[in-house]
Structure formats: structure tokens, C-alpha cells
Chains A and B, each alone.
Chain A
């Protein structure tokens, strides 16, 4: 209960000046969320249906950048969700969609100010979004594998403020 209003400890940000638009973040994100986890070759060679990348790369040459869920302190998607599937985890502060409860009504897509939730029609028609690679328990794959450090993790200052209260 102490963490009822937990804030995500980290957020991923982007530096459009150094993004080269290679989309490796998408590739590693797909692998990180496939059954082969971080094995790119198996993910792309063996899987007939791969997960969607949970990062969005926007591009209009020469500008490009990646964007993913901010795990907002006041998440619009969680408040808008009609089933209760989209929840902010009380301990980690990470916003997670429970795909078993999600019915694919897309109200979260309508609500998310960053436009980073996707329709996943291959996987049970549910909403797909960044989980900060929590299941694989490593540094987010997109950040780790960005060749030019265009994605970076910034601690959420609000977490620090809260802990001193």
C-alpha cells in the first residue's frame, strides 16, 4: 500500500540529433518480446508470427527518433481503460496491459498522449505497449542496442522526491 501511487523509476527518452534511423531498436524490441527473448536470428528465422515492436520510430529524413511508453505518473490509458486490463504496477510503477483481460476496444489508443500503444491483431486483438523489458529483467533492449546512444534512460525525479517524504 505504501507504493500505491508508485512512479516508474526510469523513463526512456530520445535524442533526435543523433538518431540515425536504423530501426535496430525495433528489431531488438521484437526479439526481446519473442519466445526466443534476445536471440535475433531465431526470432527472425524461426517464428512465423513475430511480436510487434513496442517502440515507434518516427521518420522524416533527415529527422528520426524512437518513442515508447512513458509509464506516466497519471496514466491516461489506465484511467481510460474500460476493462481494467491496463494497470500501473504498484511496486514498479510500470504500466502493463494484461492481455488476458484486454478486449481490444482501443480506448487506450484514443487516450495515450504519446500515441505509443498499438493494435496487435495477430496476438488476440489486444493492445501492445512497452513494458521496459521487465519480463526479461534486463536493461531495455532498445536502449542497450542503440548504436549511437540516441535512446537513454533518465531516472524519474518524482521517485526520488517521494522517497524523501
Chain B
């Protein structure tokens, strides 16, 4: 009897902790093509910006694997899974038998078929090795182009600015972080980026990457040429399902799992960015590529692999993102839709923006910029599906808290747990 986990990031760590809640002794094997102790992917931008050292990007303490009795097979890719013989086949030909298997292979960067994309000094921004390569060329005074004004693209921008790099950001959309931001929020962030000397080109499409062997710039579709020393591509992340493509495992965008993180193949589970689990707000399976979800899916998978009967059906997207001196948090719905009422508070003087998405008297999403304190209360109103009609007018007001709730509801929430 053993547990095998393919992948060594947040979902894998969650699974180890989940398994060990139920089963202290059965061996656990972790297989990953990356040679590192489990690290936090979002911290690569903090590492690049010299805000943290290599030691502090690790997601758990040094003794994590020893304490939890995990055997590591690192730096070797899992090539294939033989579901009939219950074996994972490694790149070097080894076959690892499993009793219960977790696939936690995460995401992979979306790489468009652009001319010149194979040139040197064109980087992705998702793994530790990416930033280890970027830091060699991101010297003070150098010039970079970041393609994609996404969450991770903008964290790359911030890190480069912290290193004294001159940055231009290109995005095809008419605003930045289009999934979360509306026009007003985008304008606030644009102002901040401009204050830090970042040049932003929206509604701009990359035609090709210029340069000989090494990239030296970008040709836009409108004919403009931009020159730089290196390029970072941050156009999004896809579920990394390569390992199980064209097998009997059910895949949509990600590996489809039920509320217990089981795939359609017996004894095979999936969790984290590779999985497509139940989205509590959308009420269907979707990918939910955020750390809190990866941890909870991993933990649920681990407990169930070890014989428990746990359900996780409360996943939804939520993000917190400090960007220079802006604090941005969002959760749940972030776009207008049928039956959704939107309530907006914009205080230009204080540079505060708040937006609430309400459906059938329930809060289903929010965006807060700068005044983010106590945001978790809103998140919990979403989770609990609380009827907010009696205090809807108080959402986002200064001093909002449990005091704004009807006494009975307040007591119910703060006197439990």
C-alpha cells in the first residue's frame, strides 16, 4: 500500500497534510520534474524583485518531507500512467506502483504560435527556473517588454521595476486585468503603473518577435516596432493535462473531478490547477487556478485517498494582489451578468474603489481597491449564501462589520466556531 502524488506544489502539500490527518504511516511518494523543495509559485515575482530570498520561497519548512515521511523523486518527469497496472512510468524508464494516485501537475503557460517565440531572452513567468533565467538579464537600466497585463504579468512588471528595469506592457484588451477590472478600476491601476514609469500599450497585438538568435523587440500588428533586451510572456495559464492526454481519464479543460476529487478512473484523484472541480458560484465544474483552492482540493483528495469521506464543494475564484502601492482583492463574480445587480462606491479623493455583485439578494462577488480591511467578511457572506437584503445598503460603507448585520445573524456567526 502506498500513495503516489505527481506534482510538488500547493495541491501536493495539501494532499500530504490531508493523508497524514488520516494515516500516519503508509508511504507517500512525490514525483516532480522540478528539482526544488515545494515552493510557492506567486513568490517567484517577489524573488525576482529581491523581496525574498530563495530560502523563503519554500512553501513549507525544510523538514516537511521528513516529518511527513514523504519519499521524493525530483527532477524526473512522470511520462505516462498505466491505469490498468496502476503504475507511473518515469522518464528514465522506472515504473512506480501506486495504490492511490493524485495528479497535481498544475498549470502550464499559454504559449501562442508567434513568429520568433523560440528566440533567446523570451521567457515565461510561472516557474522558479523562469525567474532564475530572467534575473541574469534583468539588470538595472535594461529594457523589458511584458506581454499580457494579467495578474502574473503585472507582478512581473512590479518585480522588474524593483530591479530598475524599464518596462513596457502590451495587452490586446482595452483595459488591464480584464477578468477582474472594469474601466474605472483599470484606470486606477494604470495611474499607479504610470507613476512608477511603466509604459502601457493596450489594444495592441503582437505580430512577431524581432531579433536574430536573441529577441531584440516586438513588431505590433499596427506596424509599430518596440525594442528591448528581453521579453516576458504572461498571457495566461492552462491546465497541464499533458500526462493523461488521450487516456481514459475524463478531461475537459482540466481533469474532471467530483466533490471528493476523484477522477473517473478508480483510485486516481486530481487537485489544484490541473483539475476542473465544482465551482460553488458558477454551479458547474471549472478550473479554479488559485492557491486556496489548490490547497483545499489537495487536502480533500489526500483525506479521501486515506479512506475518509470528505467533500469540498465551496471552491471559487478569489485573489489578493498588492501592486506597487495599491491593494486589490476580489472574489467570486467579477463581470455583469443576467440577474446580477452591481453596487459601486468610488471615492476618488481617497483612491478607494468598491464593487459588489448581488444576485437574488445574495452577495456573489466583490472587488475592493485599497480599503480591503475585513474583506473576508464579504467572502464569508458569499460562502454562506446569506440573504443580505436587510443590510445591503451598508455594504462597503466605512466601519462595515458584524455590527452592520441584524443582531440575530451577527450572534449566529460570531458566537459559533
Contact = CB atoms under 8 A, between A and B. Distances in A.
B291 A115 contact: no
Nearest to B380: A113
Interface string B290-328: 011001100100000000000000000011111000010
B350 to A, nearest CB: 16
B401 A14 contact: no
B63 to A, nearest CB: 12
Interface in B188-220: none
A65 B376 CA distance: 18
B40 A84 contact: yes
A117 interface: yes
A109 interface: yes
Interface in A98-138: 100-101, 103-115, 117-119
Chain A CB within 10 Å, residue with most, of B60, B299, B402: B402
A13 B291 contact: no
A135 B56 CA distance: 24
Contacts of A100: 56
B417 A83 contact: no
Given A76-B376, A107-B292, A84 B401 contact: no
Interface stretch (B137-145, B355-363, B367-375): B367-375
A83 B59 contact: yes
A31 interface: no
B376 A114 contact: yes
Nearest to A11: B417
Contacts of B56: 83, 100-101
A42 B102 CA distance: 55
Interface string B232-265: 0000000000000000000000000000000000
Interface residues of B, number: 47
A117 B372 CA distance: 11
A106 B292 contact: no
Nearest to A111: B376
Contacts of A82: 40, 42-43, 291
Contacts of B377: 113-115
Residue among B14, B42, B413, B414 with the highest chain A CB neighbour number at 10 A: B414
Nearest to A15: B415
A115 B20 contact: no
B43 A83 contact: yes
Interface stretch (A33-41, A54-62, A139-147): A54-62
> Which of the listed residues A14, A63, A82, A110 has the most CB atoms from chain B within 10 Å of its own CB?
A110
Contact-size category for A: 35 or more
A96 interface: no
A10 B27 CA distance: 34
A67 B414 contact: yes
B415 A115 contact: no
Contacts of B291: 80-82, 107
A103 B372 contact: no
B400 to A, nearest CB: 9
B417 A70 contact: yes
Given A58-B402, A109-B372, A80 B329 contact: no
Contact of A58 (B21, B373, B379, B401): B401
Given A58-B403, A72-B417, A115-B376, A106 B327 contact: yes
A14 B42 contact: no
B320 A105 contact: yes
Contacts of A84: 40, 58-61
B417 A115 contact: no
B52 interface: yes
B163 interface: no
A68 to B, nearest CB: 11
Rank and list the top 5 A-B pairs by shortest CB-CB distance, nearest first: A115-B374, A113-B380, A112-B376, A80-B292, A58-B403
16 contacts: A5-B21, A58-B403, A63-B403, A67-B414, A81-B291, A82-B40, A82-B43, A100-B56, A106-B327, A107-B292, A107-B320, A110-B329, A110-B331, A113-B413, A115-B373, A118-B373
Interface of A: 1, 4-5, 11, 13-14, 56, 58-60, 63-65, 67, 70, 72, 76, 79-84, 100-101, 103-115, 117-119
Interface of B: 14, 20-21, 24, 40, 42-43, 46, 51-52, 56, 58-61, 67, 291-292, 295-296, 299, 318-322, 327, 329, 331, 372-377, 379-380, 383, 399, 401-404, 413-415, 417
Given A107-B292, A110-B329, 4 more contacts: A11-B417, A59-B403, A67-B401, A100-B56
